[in-house]
């Protein structure tokens, strides 16, 4: 618990001083603001470059389209921002020999890993929730029509939060395995983006965390029983990878 508290406070200081909060905010909340605005302005911008008939295709966006468009962009850009910001979470500590003092004074690897994971889990979840609510209000102000409601938005946000908890556990695990942060980042991105392909296969998509994203965009039926398997599997992945990261950090040579 002592190590957990020490590292949690350290992560807060680090995130403030190295602008990690700001970068993560840009990758999530700012996106929620910019996305509906861009959609609204797109027809106006396009009119100068394409024929009026083609430009008209961009004019009809209702609230639902705008929100799902935001979800897609958040997945693509938000994941990129989150992974590249946090890829050095453990790899950076190992390669920079930052663990020498804490480990030599009896720091607990479990406390360290959990503090890092929980700190960014809270940060990302708060930012996602803010982003979704912000986007909802913006979308409601700018667009009309559609079935979008605050309850749908909150349900979608919960699914995105669970997805990013899983992605964070994958990232923290690879960050403890690879000495170079960039390798951890690229591997996580490949896995994160790559698994979305399986959303096209009805038989296996329930078993992969990316199904959470698919269901988040299914506005007519966000929560259904098909999510139980996915949620359980995602939770198992989180527990397994965080445990493996702790085990790895217990066995690692710090020198």
User: How far is the C-alpha of 96 from the C-alpha of 112, rounded, in Å?
Assistant: 16
Q: Specify the residue, 103 or 193, whose C-beta has the smaller distance to other proteins.
A: 103
User: In sequence order, what are the residues at sequence separation of 6 or more whose Cβ sits closer than 8 angstroms to the Cβ of residue 58?
Assistant: 42, 43, 46
In the bound state with other proteins, the residue whose beta carbon lies nearer, of 72 and 96, is 96
Q: How many CB atoms lie within 10 A of CB 208?
A: 22
Closest approach, Cβ 200 to other proteins, in A, equals 44
CA dist list (Å): 36 to 31, 47, 138, 144? 9, 18, 7, 12
Work out whether 85 is an interface residue with other proteins (CB under 8 A): no
d(CA 155, CA 46): 34
Q: Which is nearer to other proteins, 18 or 149 (CB)?
A: 18
- With binding defined as CB under 8 A, does residue 179 bind other proteins? no
22 touches 131 (CB < 8 A): no
**Should residue 3 be labelled a site residue for other proteins when binding is judged by CB under 8 A?**
yes
Q: Is 14 near other proteins (CB under 8 A)? A: yes
Report the alpha-carbon distance of residue 47 to residue 55 in Å, rounded: 5
Q: Which of 9, 197, 232, 239 binds other proteins (CB under 8 A)?
A: 9
Segment near other proteins (CB under 8 A); pick from 2-10, 63-71, 191-199, 207-215 = 2-10
Q: Is 179 helix (H, G, I), strand (E, B) or coil?
A: coil
**Which C-beta is closer to other proteins: that of 35 or that of 108?**
108
CA separation for the pair 29, 137 (Å, rounded): 12
The interface mask with other proteins, positions 193-232, x = CB under 8 A, is: ----------------------------------------
Using CB under 8 A, pick the residue from 51, 203, 225, 255 that binds other proteins: 255
Rounded distance, CA 67 to CA 86, Å? 26
Is residue 104 involved in binding other proteins (CB under 8 A)?
yes
Q: Does 254 bind other proteins (CB under 8 A)?
A: yes
Least distance from other proteins to the Cβ atom of residue 13, Å: 6
Residue ranges in 74-225 assigned as alpha helix (H): 79-86, 91-95, 100-104, 109-142, 150-177, 181-194, 211-216
CB of 235 to other proteins, least distance (A): 30
Could you list the residues that contact other proteins (CB under 8 A)? 1-3, 5-6, 9-10, 13-14, 17-18, 96-98, 100-108, 251, 253-255
């Amino acid at each position: 618990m002592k190590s957990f508290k020490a590292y949690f406070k350290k992560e807060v200081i680090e995130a403030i001083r190295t602008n990690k909060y700001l970068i993560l905010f840009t990758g999530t909340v700012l996106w929620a603001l910019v996305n509906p605005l861009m959609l609204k302005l797109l027809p106006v911008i396009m009119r100068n470059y394409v024929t009026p008939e083609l430009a008209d295709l961009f004019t009809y966006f209702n609230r639902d389209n705008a929100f799902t468009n935001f979800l897609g962009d958040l997945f693509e850009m938000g994941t990129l921002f989150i992974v590249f910001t946090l890829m050095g979470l453990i790899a950076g500590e190992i390669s920079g020999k930052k663990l020498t003092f804490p480990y030599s004074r009896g720091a607990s690897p479990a406390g360290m890993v959990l503090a890092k994971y929980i700190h960014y889990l809270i940060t990302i979840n708060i930012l996602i929730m803010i982003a979704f609510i912000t986007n909802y209000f913006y979308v409601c102000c700018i667009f009309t029509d559609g079935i979008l409601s605050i309850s749908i938005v909150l349900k979608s946000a919960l699914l995105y939060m669970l997805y990013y908890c899983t992605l964070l556990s994958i990232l923290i695990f690879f960050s403890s395995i690879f000495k170079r942060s960039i390798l951890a980042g690229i591997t996580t991105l490949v896995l994160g983006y790559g698994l979305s392909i399986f959303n096209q296969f009805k038989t296996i998509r329930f078993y992969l965390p990316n199904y959470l994203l698919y269901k988040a965009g299914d506005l007519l039926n966000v929560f259904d029983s098909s999510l139980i398997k996915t949620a359980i599997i995602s939770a198992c992945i989180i527990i397994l990878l965080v445990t493996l990261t702790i085990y790895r950090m217990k066995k690692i040579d710090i020198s």
